[in-house]
Amino acid sequence: MKKILLLILASFGLLSVRAADKELEAKVQALLSKMTLEEKVRLSYAQTRFMSPGVQRLGVPELYTSDGPHGVRMEIQTHSWDHADWTNDSCTAFPALTCLAATWQPQLAAQYGRMVGEEARYRNKSVLLGPGVNIYRTPLNGRNFEYMGEDPILASRMCVPYIQGLQSNGVAACVKHYALNEQEVFRNHVDVRVSDRALYELYLRPFHAAVVEGGAWSVMGSYNQYMDQYATHNRRLINDILKKEWGFDGAVISDWGAAHDTDEAIFNGLDLEMGSFTDGLSMEAPLNSYDKYYLAKAYLEKCRKGEVPESVINDKAGRMLRLILRTSMAENRGFGSMNSPEHVATARKIAQEGIVLLKNNGILPLAPKANARILVVGENAVRSLCEGGGSSELKARDEVSPLRGIQERFGNACTVSYAKGYVSGRAMFGQADELPQSLYDSLRQEAVEMAKNVDYVIYVGGLNKNHFQDCEGGDRLTYNLPFGQDQLVAELLAANKNTILVMVSGNAYDMPWLASAPALVQSWYLGSESGHALADIISGDVCPSGKLPFSFAYRLNDYPAHKMGAVGYPGVSPDKLPQTLTGKISQPLNSELLLQSAIKGWKNIQFEQTPGDGAKKDESQIYGEDILVGYRWLDYFKTKVRFPFGFGLSYTTFQYGKPTIQGRTVSVEVKNTGKVAGQEVVQFYVGDDKASVVRPVKELKHFDKIALAPGESKVVTYTISDDDLKYFDETRHAWVAENGTFTIYVAASAADVKGKVSFKY
């Protein structure tokens, strides 16, 4: 009876969705039927740096976009990249998406999306340029902090509620950067070569979830190339996969300056061209050059000559109208809100739940005696980390620095002093300040001397949002921490054995000093409430529960993109590509060939001119590790990892019972065996025991974050779906599950399996 009722309700839901869709389509068609050719074409290119026009005559408003994804960016000048310097555009800076991913809490992603959408709505923005869901392939990628880690299922589970929450305000998500934009070096042209299997299993997976499950209303085409064609107007990525295969009915928006060709833009599915003749951030387009855009006059002329079928013109304009109807013209949109107490509290909560405790010999939570002396060291304790980093920069209304957070929390009972320890220069795009060594030496010596005379040192360092750090437009140059920090940290640890390390970054880094560190806290870019959230964790007011969304390997070469050499990262000129692996430029690579080669360390590859590549000059790269990215690679080659994917400590302890399976449902009991309340992320990975192709040892399929009081236990369950068993068979272009036995791993991280069960399919 209950089932039947549910079915009826579900079909009603479906009907009402369909009715809404029908109504929307009727409006799109009604508008199209009234529009001139000129008006239709005009919808498809920018009118200012961040806005595109509507149709004034018909009451269709403009479309205002804004970065994204961690808050609503400050206003930018109408026709340049300069800040507009308004006084009323300060926002709540939410933690970076890496931090959101590290919460492993989809409910927080839903709140994040809803609230960032409310801020966008208040600022009258209809498209928020985010979330970013590119895969963490190399720890050098300057934009990893804007993405959600190395695992496509984690990124998918987190981006879907973000998008739904955001769009519930009538503000469109613009999921970026579609696709294969996993690095910033050569980002404006690098031609990425990848197998279909890796494409579907890893790189497209979160985009698929964003569009099909999240219902994203727009997608941003990336700068790079794929199969010798710019991604932003790439026939295969956009027309064949996104629009035909996945049924995406929204608009494809170019990244700023990512369009390069009129014909391709017209016929390969680009719907809105933004930022042309700029490299995305620095170059200035000549004022009022909008009519020179690829989808402007040149497009119109082709239409007038009858070279563009009406169906193409109407499809493009129709998609833009649909986007405007869903957002700027949506009835019953709320008015939004900025900097509400709820937003600030949620930003803090996400930060608390995303911070990852990596090491602790018991010094944390910090409970200093009255009058204890605490020295805070490190530039990141006082630096604004909302500024810089490129387009995701934010002007936070209030940014609580770590120093302020520590002072507020401990300053009543203890003395809190501060030493900078190192400096880094301005947060600038495309430039890094050169500072004299003598400055580093004197700051280091001062901090180390001060460290000798205190009870505790809290070091707050890591990366920042400078060029060549966690910043758009460039990648990091080394795996080590910058600005002489390795030496500084080592000397601090030697000077005071009670030195707690807090590292802020959106990336993994080397830790030559780790063995002598009593505690290490991984902080991400935490936004407005950074200092409060850090103090909450350090003091134990909140029990840490974040888990790494990517692996912290020992060495750069443990990441296969680097192990492969320049062909894998950052790319080489086409004549240096290995012929045996490459095949024809216009065809996807062969996954099995790549994997077999990878297994042999790519020793069998020859470097010769690839037939069929013609005069191509742009750097190309091969995603030669194929599907074995991150822990999939480390697992397969049994490589020891410093801190595995999914890892994070707590102030309490959890005991896992023996998992059982009944039918398709795996159950495991988890108990809090410690003294404080805490949260655990129970992870379920699936591995195919015997397959006809190379498969990862195990892949994350499900997770659940549970809260447990001391002594409390809960049973966590996971029901295996057919999809969880499948790999992408590129010869059949289909997802396939092979018969046989699968192992389900119940784990506390990719390297901490608590129990296994078998499942026969």
- CB-based contact 60:329 (threshold 8 Å): yes
- CB-based contact 259:294 (threshold 8 Å): yes
Nearer to ligand BGC among residue 187 and residue 754 (C-beta): 187
Nearer to ligand BGC among residue 191 and residue 255 (C-beta): 255
Beta pairing partners, 752: 749
Residue 230 binds ligand BGC (CB under 6 A): no
CB burial of residue 268 (10 Å; 0-12, 13-18, 19+): buried
Closest residue to ligand BGC in the complex (CB) = 280
Side-chain half-sphere CA neighbours of 559 within 13 A: 28
Q: Least distance (Å) from ligand BGC to the CB of residue 429?
A: 9
Alpha carbons 65 and 70: distance in angstroms, whole number: 14
Q: Least distance (Å) from ligand BGC to the CB of residue 98?
A: 15
Q: Least distance (Å) from ligand BGC to the CB of residue 245?
A: 24
Q: Which of 118, 184, 255, 470 binds ligand BGC (CB under 6 A)?
A: 255
Q: Per-residue contact track with ligand BGC, 391 to 410, x per CB under 6 A?
A: x-------------------
Q: Which of 42, 137, 157, 176 binds ligand BGC (CB under 6 A)?
A: 176
Q: Least distance (Å) from ligand BGC to the CB of residue 391?
A: 3
Residues 259-318 that bind ligand BGC (CB under 6 A): 280-281
Q: In what order do the strands lie in the sheet with 172-178?
A: 51-52, 63-67, 127-129, 172-178, 218-221, 251-254
Identify the residue whose tokens are 């068993």: 725
Alpha carbons 673 and 682: distance in angstroms, whole number: 15
Nearer to ligand BGC among residue 255 and residue 699 (C-beta): 255
Cα–Cα–Cα angle for 192, 197, 198, rounded to 5 degrees: 50
Alpha carbons 278 and 292: distance in angstroms, whole number: 13
Residues 320-339 that bind ligand BGC (CB under 6 A): none
Q: Least distance (Å) from ligand BGC to the CB of residue 111?
A: 23
Side-chain half-sphere CA neighbours of 739 within 13 A: 0
DSSP assignment of 366-390 equals: P-PPTT-EEEEESGGGTS-SSS-SS
Q: Least distance (Å) from ligand BGC to the CB of residue 396?
A: 18
Residue 181, amino acid: N
Taking the CA atoms of 479, 445, 538 and 389 in sequence, report the sign of the dihedral they define: negative
Nearer to ligand BGC among residue 129 and residue 324 (C-beta): 129
Q: Closest Cα to residue 192, out of 588, 617, 605?
A: 588
Alpha carbons 39 and 318: distance in angstroms, whole number: 12
Nearer to ligand BGC among residue 255 and residue 730 (C-beta): 255
Phi, psi of 151 (to 5 degrees): -110, 125
Q: Which of 94, 104, 256, 728 binds ligand BGC (CB under 6 A)?
A: 256
In the three-class reduction of DSSP (H, G, I as helix; E, B as strand; rest coil), residue 739 is classed as: coil
Residue 254 binds ligand BGC (CB under 6 A): no
Q: Least distance (Å) from ligand BGC to the CB of residue 393?
A: 9
Q: Least distance (Å) from ligand BGC to the CB of residue 170?
A: 20
For the chain, the C-alpha Rg in angstroms (whole number) is 26
Q: Least distance (Å) from ligand BGC to the CB of residue 73?
A: 8
Q: Closest Cα to residue 745, out of 757, 760, 737, 733?
A: 757
Residue 387 binds ligand BGC (CB under 6 A): no
Nearer to ligand BGC among residue 66 and residue 639 (C-beta): 66
CB burial of residue 478 (10 Å; 0-12, 13-18, 19+): exposed
Q: Total number of residues binding ligand BGC (CB under 6 A)? A: 9
Nearer to ligand BGC among residue 218 and residue 505 (C-beta): 218
Nearer to ligand BGC among residue 270 and residue 720 (C-beta): 270
The catalytically annotated residue of 196, 255, 470, 704 is 255
Token pair belonging to 727? 């790999």
Q: Judging by DSSP bridges, how do beta strands 552-553 and 641-643 pair with one another?
A: antiparallel
Residues 49-88 that bind ligand BGC (CB under 6 A): 67-68
Identify the residue whose tokens are 């590790």: 625
Nearer to ligand BGC among residue 127 and residue 344 (C-beta): 127
Q: Which of 129, 160, 194, 454 binds ligand BGC (CB under 6 A)?
A: 129
Strands (E), 179-321: 191-193, 218-221, 225-226, 229-230, 251-254
> Residue 757: in which H helix or E strand, if any?
strand 752-760
**Any idea of the CA torsion for 29, 32, 34, 40, to the nearest 10 degrees?**
170
Nearer to ligand BGC among residue 391 and residue 466 (C-beta): 391
Q: Closest Cα to residue 448, out of 514, 377, 521, 373?
A: 377
Q: Least distance (Å) from ligand BGC to the CB of residue 127?
A: 10
Nearer to ligand BGC among residue 294 and residue 745 (C-beta): 294
Catalytic (active site) residue 255: yes
DSSP 45: B
- CB-based contact 609:575 (threshold 8 Å): yes
Measuring CA to CA, how many Å separate 212 from each of 97, 152, 313, 720? 21, 15, 25, 21
Q: Least distance (Å) from ligand BGC to the CB of residue 75?
A: 12
Side-chain half-sphere CA neighbours of 269 within 13 A: 27
Nearer to ligand BGC among residue 65 and residue 621 (C-beta): 65
Q: Least distance (Å) from ligand BGC to the CB of residue 145?
A: 12
Q: Least distance (Å) from ligand BGC to the CB of residue 72?
A: 12
Crossing angle (nearest 10°) for helices 341-354 and 530-539: 50
Residues of this chain that bind ligand BGC (CB under 6 A) = 67-68, 129, 176, 255-256, 280-281, 391
| Residues carrying an active site annotation | 255
